[in-house]
Chain A
Amino acid sequence: MFVIRHFEESLVPLHDKGVFGGHYHLYVGQEATGVPALACLRADDYLFTTHRNHGHLLARGAEPKRLFAEILGRVDGLNKGKGGSFHSVAPSLGFLHSSGVVAGIIPLSTGTAYASKAQKNGRLTVCLFGDGSLEEGAAPEAFNIASLLKLPVLFLCENNGKYGSGRAVAAAQSSSMAAYPLTDLPKAYKIPAQQIDGMDAGLVHATISQAVEKIRRGEGPQFVEAQTVRFPGSETNWPTVPVKTDTTLAWDVSSAPEKAREWYRSCDPLLIYIRELVDAKQASKDEIAAVERQVKTEIAAAVEFAVNSPYPKPEEAEKNFFA
């Protein structure tokens, strides 16, 4: 969770300084969903993610320096600079394709699941998407097919809109869905679906473990909606960092701007987790701070690596688009 948080917080100034261009999306505030959920998987499982993929890739063990290099369009990037923030992949970790079209991966995830079923290899597919993805027709088409064919796929919807503003229509928080709760949609296709608090790492782990077990038993697809609370740095058009995260924030948020304080005080899943560890005496404040210092050093080195990685040769643009 520290790796994701400090990775994302390091990205914002790089963009602000013009080290990379284009739009990008942060995972801050959703760490307690991705990290425990992905810990429930086997090494050979397939995963699909969207434009908001940095946290998922890092949670699964992608090297921060190669992800930074990809986002910066450098030759050492995970995709040699051809994909960028939207499309970073890591096939060796099970990430074959990351789509910037919000529901693009949902039909694709039924395909890897179909292949796994045909090949009888026991592999499961996890499809990670946001609540907005359900607005596209690809989602219900894929739910119908997954349910009819009883495919081994977990649809994990990270609703990043709890208490969010912006696109909210009626009760649907950040998305424009007449079907609400969102679990009504998969349930209409007879896919077992549950809504949980995505800021509670322990609950996410328990829920996903159970869902994964059911899928591996051959019960067909499962749907979990993890509700997260929108990070205040994503309320603006371009992401901002209201305050650099530090272990001490877990007990004192006075360094955060007033507008953002409530989120850091009661919603930030990383700080919640830190307090849980300390309260349960599983780690001391000093131990956690030491881990955080180490992560910060590693992330700084990863940024350094990416900034110094060369751009691909321009001629590469004309090559390697066919296998």
Chain B
Amino acid sequence: MRELAYYEAKFEALDEIMTADERVHLINGTFLSLSPHRHVFQNLQKKFRERMIAPPISELGFCGLATGAAMAGLRPIVDLSTGSFIYEAWPQVANEAANAFSMSGGQTRVPVVFHLFHGLRGGGAAQHSGSPQAMLWNVPGLEIVIPSSPRDVKGLLKTAVASDNPTIFVDHTRLLDIRGDVPENDKAIPFGVADIKRPGSDVTLIATSYTVQVCLGAAAKLAKEGIEVEVVDPRTLVPFDLATILSSVEKTHRVVIADETHQSCGVGAEIAARIAESGFDKLKTRIRRVSTLDVPVPYSPPLEAHIGPSESRIMDAVRAAVA
């Protein structure tokens, strides 16, 4: 097995995608946020400069440009960088791109990818720490992809670009330096297939994005306490693989959901509702959520750490579930 850093796997995917398909254009940004690994973007820039544009700071304008270009046959990938910036582009994403295929009676395809970095990144404060994927899940017509490992980011990015639908690619800056196995010539990962990141028999711990990594750390510690946690990563919210989750619940009868969206109407809320509707009889205890508290994200480090789905909060929830 070959090990790569997450950012390396992501840029290997971008390179392979752009080499294979000249319809792919990169709009705005570096796909790295403020990460220091700028050389990977510069390498890409040298190869594909004519298929990259750096538009003005006009999220609404350039998300519309990408959507229109997708309607005309290109496969643009737009980098919104900080996830909260998608609020500036909301009309184009939620009201134009998401609706075009349906309201044209299935005639206009919109193969655009909106890429963003969500979540608590350390000092992002209230306006640069948003996790808009829960709001976007409330917009029919968008596919939502949320990788958590080097192998997944590569495989899912390929599927996102190949998709004929508008796709939100939800990334996290705290994943960029995570290392993991990425086989050479790995296949694209289909949407709607959850991945068991760690098998276990006592509690089903469902997590997304960077929180999957936090959960893996928590699971290792809980194993020493004798609690075997099964960490399940849906990998895509739309489409959503409920079957894999339900078969895990069938085995463990206990569910904890951990993710970085705010608690109310968050990703955890929707997953909990689906399990309650379809797998209530399998549960031996109530479903527990570990989400970001329902407050604007504060700046000061201990305040920020307090509101997120930390390892200690996750461990407490798992212990409570087996108590």
Q: Is the CB of A110 within 8 A of B107?
A: no
Distance (Å) between the CB of A31 and the closest chain B CB? 25
- Give residues 88-123 of A contacting B (CB, 8 Å): 89, 91, 96-97, 99, 101, 104, 106-116, 118-119
B interface residues, how many (CB within 8 angstroms):
44
Contacts of B91 in A (CB 8 A): 101, 104, 138
1/0 contact trace for B29-62 toward A, CB 8 Å?
Answer: 0000000000000000000000101011010111
Q: Which of B68, B70, B100, B103 has the most CB of A within 10 A?
A: B68
Could you say which residues of chain B place their CB within 8 Å of the CB of A144? 56, 58, 61
Are B65 and A83 in contact (CB-based, < 8 A)?
Answer: no
Q: Which residues of B contact A89 (CB under 8 A)?
A: 104-105, 107-108
- Does A269 reach chain B (CB closer than 8 Å)? no
B102 close to chain A: CB less than 8 A? yes
Interface segment, B1-9, B71-79, B211-219? B71-79
Instruction: Tell me if A80 and B65 are in contact (CB < 8 A).
Output: no
Q: Indicate if B96 sits at the interface (CB-CB under 8 A).
A: yes
Q: Does B92 have its Cβ within 8 Å of any Cβ on chain A?
A: yes
B101 at the interface (CB under 8 A from A): yes
Contact flags A283-323 to B (C-beta < 8 A → 1, else 0): 00000000000000000000000000000000000001111
| Given contacts A114-B68, A142-B61, A81 and B105 within 8 Å (CB-CB) | yes
A46 proximal to B (CB < 8 A) = yes
Contact B72 A111 (CB under 8 A): yes
Bound complex: CA A250 to CA B8 (Å): 72
Query: In the bound complex, how far is the Cα of B280 from the Cα of A65, in angstroms?
Result: 51
User: Nearest Cβ distance between residue B199 and chain A, in whole angstroms?
Assistant: 32
Tell which of B71, B104, B143 has the most Cβ of chain A within 10 Å: B104
Give min CB distance, A247 to chain B, whole Å.
36
Instruction: Check A79–B71 contact: CB distance below 8 A.
Output: no
Q: Total number of A-B contacts with CB less than 8 angstroms?
A: 151
User: Does B141 touch A at the CB level, under 8 Å?
Assistant: yes
Distance (whole angstroms) from the CB of A43 to the closest CB of chain B? 15
B101 touches A104 (CB 8 A): no
Chain B positions 103-150 with a Cβ under 8 Å from a chain A Cβ: 103-111, 140-141, 143
Closest chain A CB from B20 CB (angstroms)? 17
Cβ of B95 within 8 Å of any chain A Cβ, yes or no, is yes
The answer to the question of B66 belonging to the interface, with a C-beta cut-off of 8 Å to chain A, is yes
Q: Which residue of A lies closest to B68 (CB)?
A: A111
Cβ-defined contact, B71 with A97, below 8 A: yes
Residues of the A chain whose Cβ atoms lie less than 8 Å from the Cβ of B209: none
The CB with the most chain A CB atoms within 10 A, among B69, B101, B111, B165, is that of B69
Q: Is A257 an interface residue (CB 8 A)?
A: no
Distance A97 CA – B98 CA, assembled complex (angstroms): 12
Q: Is A82 an interface residue (CB 8 A)?
A: yes
Q: Which residues of the partner chain B approach A138 to less than 8 Å between Cβ atoms?
A: 60-61, 64, 91-92
| Cβ-closest chain B residue relative to A81 | B105
Closest to A323 in B: B164
Residues of B within 8 A of A323 (CB): 101, 106, 109-111, 163-165
> Interface centre among A111, A137, A142, by most B CB within 10 Å?
A111
Known contacts A107-B60, A145-B58; A112/B96 CB under 8 A: no
Does A149 lie at the interface of the complex (its beta carbon under 8 Å from any beta carbon of B)?
Answer: yes
A interface bracket (residues with beta carbon within 8 Å of B): 35 or more
Query: Could you tell me if B56 and A322 are in contact, using CB atoms closer than 8 angstroms?
Result: no
Q: Closest Cβ of chain B: how far from A227's Cβ, in Å?
A: 27
How far is it, in angstroms, between the C-alpha of A138 and the C-alpha of B89 when the chains are bound?
9
**When the two chains form the complex, which single residue of A104, A108, A115, A137 contacts B73, counting CB atoms closer than 8 Å?**
A115
Q: How far is the CA of A89 from the CA of B100 in the complex (A)?
A: 10
Partner of B68, one of A110, A118, A148: A110
B69, A115: Cβ atoms closer than 8 Å: yes
Whether the pair B108, A107 counts as a contact (CB closer than 8 A) is: no
Question: Beyond A80-B106, A89-B104, A142-B61, is A109–B68 a contact (Cβ under 8 Å)?
Answer: yes
Tell me if B161 is interfacial: C-beta within 8 Å of chain A: no
Given A96-B71, A111-B70, A118-B25 in contact, is the A321-B60 Cβ separation under 8 Å? no
Instruction: Find the residue from B55, B58, B61, B102 having the highest chain A CB count within 10 A.
Output: B61
Which residue of A has the minimal Cβ distance to B102? A321
CB of A78 within 8 A of chain B?
yes
Q: How far is the CB of B274 from chain A (nearest CB, A)?
A: 17
- Do A46 and B96 touch across chains, with their CB atoms under 8 A apart? no
Given the contacts A107-B60, A108-B68, A321-B141, A96 and B103 also touching, CB distance less than 8 Å? no
Contact B165 A108 (CB under 8 A): no
Question: 9 other contacts beyond A91-B107, A110-B65, with CB at 8 A cut-off?
Answer: A82-B103, A107-B64, A108-B64, A111-B67, A115-B68, A115-B73, A138-B60, A138-B61, A145-B55
List 22 A-B residue pairs with CB atoms under 8 Å apart, sorted by A's residue number: A46-B72, A79-B104, A89-B108, A96-B104, A97-B100, A97-B108, A104-B64, A108-B71, A110-B68, A111-B70, A114-B69, A115-B72, A118-B69, A119-B74, A138-B91, A141-B60, A142-B64, A320-B101, A320-B105, A320-B106, A323-B106, A323-B163
Q: Which A residues form the contact surface with B (CB < 8 A)?
A: 46, 48, 77-83, 87, 89, 91, 96-97, 99, 101, 104, 106-116, 118-119, 137-138, 141-142, 144-145, 148-149, 320-323
